[in-house]
Amino acid sequence: MKFVTQQEAIAIDEMFFSECSYSVDQLMELAGQSVAHVVFEHHKEARKVLIVCGPGNNGGDGLVVARHLHFFGMNVEVYVPKVGKSVLLQKLVEQLKMLGIPTTTSFVMKETLDQMCASSDVIVDALFGQSFRTPANDTFQEVIDSMIRSNRPVVSIDVPSGWDVEKGDIAGNGLRPEILVSMAAPKLCSQTFSGIHYLGGRFVPKIVSDRFGLTNPVFPANSLFIRL
């Protein structure tokens, strides 16, 4: 299995958008749907799932996860401390509100966030992704700290929040998720991850795999994820 650098991950995305004619929202939908299936597989009995979303594409993946889990019949709450400026992300937020999913779209007090995390059975970490540069600013680090303090199982999308994309949790204050769902290819940081690791999405064309020397595992039947 090849683990890719941050620059390789960015270049893979660029190839999806150019030569492969994928759109951002299409990849977001594929990624989010696969993560939703992972969450349901492991935590279908959860009374509440809290999804913490950042302002970038990783956060968009989380917003998609929320919608799919809602239609799976799960009780979902979404926290977006800062909504991204793109029309796509704003529309994803509006979709959740239209569905009646409780969605907070501004920073809340530490005590409030601690309560949101503590009252959930599982947390989906969609705060930062492959474009993250350490360290997190103080405001976002408080969000990470609340997730850590909750001692709830966490499912991270692509990169555990607070981790350097290549070196892992070098600052020592990142998340320690129960489950990591990598997209397209696992990032270098995931070599130090000791939990349950999946590859999700099932959307990588052979031309991309060949260009970057990726290992395309054989997904079981119609599954959207495979354990690494």
Give per-residue burial for 91-128: e unless 16+ CB within 10 Å, then b.
Answer: ebbebbeeeebebeeebeeeeebbebbeebebbbbbbb
Domain spans of the chain, in order of start:
6-227
- Binding-site positions for (6S)-NADPHX read 57-61, 129-135, 158
Distance of CA 37 to the CA centre of its chain: 13
CATH of domain 6-227: 3.40.50.10260
Q: What is the dihedral of CA 88, 97, 183, 169, to 10 degrees?
A: 110
Distance CA 110, CA 117 (A): 11
Read off the tokens for 124.
């989906």
- Please write the tens of the pLDDT for every residue from 101-122: 999 999 999 999 999 999 999 9
- Binding-site positions read 57-61, 125, 129-135, 158, 161
Tell me which H or E stretch contains 181.
Answer: strand 179-183
> Which residues does the chain have with pLDDT short of 50?
none
Read off the tokens for 174.
């990142």
State the maximum Cα–Cα separation within the chain, in Å, rounded to a whole number: 49
User: What does the pLDDT read at residue 130?
Assistant: 83
- Please write the tens of the pLDDT for every residue from 30-65: 999 999 999 999 999 999 999 999 999 999 999 999
Q: Which residues pair with 49 in a beta bridge?
A: 76, 122
- Binding-site positions for K(+) read 58, 125, 161
Distance CA 116, CA 73 (A): 20
User: What does the pLDDT read at residue 215?
Assistant: 86
User: What does the pLDDT read at residue 1?
Assistant: 87
User: What does the pLDDT read at residue 181?
Assistant: 98
